[in-house]
């Protein structure tokens, strides 16, 4: 199959290179020339474990190329994936579909022969209908089928997730497109990944329902954690106690500083807006959004109370800035609100993140970015672990204590055992632990 990916970000690039690895011929297109220039030099525009190697292998084999030229890249394609961003629209929180629609128009103008246009971007129910309308308007003679194929990969484990998905969801109502999509995913199908064919609108909704449910699950355990702190219970034991129930499942039951990232915040918001527009409000999702928004600043206040309610003039070492480990993605990271709250209360912040500092600098100003965890910890009044990167799991606590003004550890990811930290003379504050 000749496949073109429009958009070479976290989803487009990973999907594109994995399709090439399956044996398809793939062109990854992006409007951002700096991304394509970097890719052509073998430099990855994002941090994703294992990505550079699989890109290099597939470029070498000749199956993967990069381009900024939509016109030439779509004209011979059998399948064109749209994998552009769908951020929250300023003002009302709906998904901003302008990039999707612009891509659809360009594809329609330049494709030749039967072409399957697949929306991989996360898009609200009914977007496929609008894409179809745009395509027909832009090129009434185009022979195009519009398909929905939402992506479920997680940053940090994206390649593994793409190659071994729990399921592949494909929404369509065109038999020719069904044949093409089956061919595109044949290598995975042979690996027994279930291909779930649905109507297009259903497929679009599956993606939002999945993200809404997961966001709700995280928010649920976060509220249980708050209750644990009030009643003297332990949230980690509660998580295990409920997670072993097969109907509930153990994943996404880690209490923490609230969900962030490029998907859950915007997708829950877009789902709530879609539901409101159809007079079928989703109050569980609306409440999830509001609890999570409040939680991020509450985590900043938690740090302040760990320092007896006053951080003015104090130095806080923030370890981890990205919304989760193994990515450089800072979009909607809880670190942003935590740091803002500390700054608002007069603290100074020194921060370290293994991969996210370049992106963080564009979003968080007025803090010191340092070269390693101990540079942040030097002379600090407290350490706050915001992201559970592996290298923060085994800090040399005696060394850290010797460098600090006061030995306080606020562990927003519960990666330490309270008793062990206390043994080293630290005041330890986890989430939902007492
Ligand atoms: N990041 C994730 O973990 C993830 C997971 C599942 C689904 N998604 C969804 O996938 C979509 C893409 O997300 P992402 O994180 O990869 O976004 P991203 O911002 O990393 O990448 C999007 C890319 O599209 C490019 N682009 C925009 N318009 C273009 C056009 N007309 N032609 C060519 N390139 C164009 C941009 O320059 C950018 O590089 C979103 O809808 C998102 O919700 C993301």
For residue 189, what pLDDT band results from cuts at 50, 70 and 90? confident
Phi, psi of 197 (to 5 degrees): -90, 130
- What is the rounded distance in angstroms from the CA atom of residue 82 to the CA atom of residue 56? 23
First-residue to last-residue Cα distance in the chain: 56
* 261 contacts 329 by C-beta, under 8 angstroms: yes
State the average pLDDT for the chain: 97
pLDDT number for residue 240: 98
Q: Is the pLDDT of residue 192 over 90?
A: no
Shortest CA distance to 357 belongs to which of 381, 375, 341, 378? 375
Ligand 1 proximity of 332 Cβ (cutoff 6 Å): no
**Chain center to CA of 54:** 21
Tokens 């898009």: give the residue.
Answer: 123
Same CATH fold assignment for domains 2-198 and 199-434 = yes
- What is the rounded distance in angstroms from the CA atom of residue 300 to the CA atom of residue 339? 7
- What is the rounded distance in angstroms from the CA atom of residue 70 to the CA atom of residue 84? 13
Atom of ligand 1 nearest to the CA of 262: 1
pLDDT number for residue 164: 94
- What is the rounded distance in angstroms from the CA atom of residue 172 to the CA atom of residue 128? 9
C-alpha Rg value of the chain to the nearest Å: 23
pLDDT number for residue 91: 86
Q: Is the pLDDT of residue 102 over 90?
A: yes
pLDDT number for residue 207: 98
Q: What is the pLDDT of residues 389-428, one digit of tens each?
A: 999 999 999 999 999 999 999 999 999 999 999 999 999 9
Share of the chain above pLDDT 70, in %: 100
Least confident of 9-13, 90-94, 168-172, 377-381: 90-94
Q: Give mean pLDDT, residues 326-348.
A: 97
210: CA distance to ligand 1 center in Å?
19
Tokens 């632990």: give the residue.
Answer: 433
Q: Is the pLDDT of residue 178 over 80?
A: yes
For residue 90, what pLDDT band results from cuts at 50, 70 and 90? confident
Q: Give mean pLDDT, residues 256-268.
A: 97
Query: What would be the CATH architecture of the domain defined by 2-198?
Result: 3-Layer(aba) Sandwich (3.40)
For residue 332, what pLDDT band results from cuts at 50, 70 and 90? very high
**What CATH number should be reported for the domain whose range is 199-434?**
3.40.50.720
pLDDT number for residue 78: 98
Number of Cβ atoms within 10 Å of the Cβ of 343:
18
118: CA distance to ligand 1 center in Å?
14
Q: Is the pLDDT of residue 337 over 80?
A: yes
Cα 343 to Cα 26, 224, 339, 349: the distances in Å are 46, 28, 6, 8
Bridge partners, 102 (sequence order): none
Q: Is the pLDDT of residue 106 over 80?
A: yes
Residues annotated as part of the active site: 263
11: CA distance to ligand 1 center in Å?
6
Atom of ligand 1 nearest to the CA of 150: 7
Q: Is the pLDDT of residue 252 over 80?
A: yes
33: CA distance to ligand 1 center in Å?
15
- Residues with Cβ within 8 Å of residue 416, at least 6 apart in sequence: 385, 393, 409, 428, 430
Return the SS3 of 261: coil
Q: What are the structure tokens assigned to 434, written together?
A: 């007492």
Q: Give mean pLDDT, residues 57-76.
A: 97
Q: Is the pLDDT of residue 317 over 90?
A: yes
pLDDT number for residue 174: 95
Domain ranges of the chain: 2-198, 199-434
Q: Is the pLDDT of residue 227 over 80?
A: yes
Ligand 1 proximity of 327 Cβ (cutoff 6 Å): no
Which residue out of 14, 30, 48, 268 has the highest number of ligand 1 atoms within 8 Å of its CB and is therefore the one to mutate? 30
Ligand 1 proximity of 83 Cβ (cutoff 6 Å): yes
Ligand 1 proximity of 32 Cβ (cutoff 6 Å): yes
Cα 223 to Cα 28, 108, 235, 257, 270: the distances in Å are 42, 48, 10, 11, 23
Shortest CA distance to 360 belongs to which of 326, 398, 333, 389? 333
For residue 285, what pLDDT band results from cuts at 50, 70 and 90? very high
């Amino acid at each position: 199959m000749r496949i073109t990916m429009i958009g070479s970000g976290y989803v487009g690039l990973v999907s594109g290179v994995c399709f090439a690895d399956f044996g398809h011929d793939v062109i990854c297109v992006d409007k951002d020339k700096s991304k394509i220039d970097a890719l052509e030099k073998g430099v990855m525009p994002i941090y994703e474990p294992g990505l550079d190697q699989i890109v290099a292998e597939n470029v070498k084999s000749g199956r993967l190329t990069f381009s900024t030229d939509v016109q030439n890249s779509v004209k011979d394609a059998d399948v064109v994936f749209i994998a552009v961003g769908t951020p929250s629209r300023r003002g009302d929180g709906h998904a901003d579909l302008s990039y999707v629609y612009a891509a659809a128009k360009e594809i329609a103008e330049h494709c030749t022969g039967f072409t399957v246009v697949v929306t991989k971007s996360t898009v609200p129910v009914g977007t496929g209908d609008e894409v179809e309308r745009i395509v027909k308007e832009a090129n009434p003679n185009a022979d195009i089928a519009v398909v929905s194929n939402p992506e479920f990969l997680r940053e940090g484990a994206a390649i593994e997730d793409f190659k071994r998905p729990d399921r592949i969801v494909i929404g369509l109502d065109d038999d020719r497109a069904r044949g093409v999509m089956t061919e595109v995913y044949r290598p995975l199908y042979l690996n027994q990944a279930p291909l779930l064919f649905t109507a297009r609108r259903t497929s679009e909704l599956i993606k939002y329902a999945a993200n809404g449910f997961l966001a709700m699950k995280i928010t649920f355990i976060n509220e249980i954690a708050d209750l644990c702190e009030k009643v003297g219970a332990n949230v980690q034991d509660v998580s295990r106690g409920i997670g072993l129930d097969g109907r509930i499942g153990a994943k996404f039951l880690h209490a923490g500083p609230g969900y962030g990232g490029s998907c859950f915040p915007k997708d829950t918001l877009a789902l709530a807006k879609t539901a409101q527009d159809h007079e079928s409000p989703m109050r569980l999702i609306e409440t999830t959004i509001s609890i999570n928004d409040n939680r991020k600043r509450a985590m900043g206040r938690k740090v302040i109370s760990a320092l007896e309610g006053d951080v003015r003039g104090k130095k806080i070492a923030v370890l981890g800035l990205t919304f989760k480990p193994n990515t450089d993605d800072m979009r909607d990271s809880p670190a942003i609100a935590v740091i803002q709250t500390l700054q608002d209360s007069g603290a100074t912040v020194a921060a370290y993140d293994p991969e996210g500092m370049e992106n963080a600098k564009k979003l968080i100003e007025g803090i010191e970015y340092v070269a390693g965890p101990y540079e942040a910890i030097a002379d600090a009044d407290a350490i706050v672990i915001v992201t559970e990167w592996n290298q923060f799991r085994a800090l040399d606590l005696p060394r850290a204590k010797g460098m600090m003004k006061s030995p306080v550890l606020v562990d927003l990811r519960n990666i330490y055992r309270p008793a062990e930290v206390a043994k080293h003379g630290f005041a330890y504050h986890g989430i939902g632990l007492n």
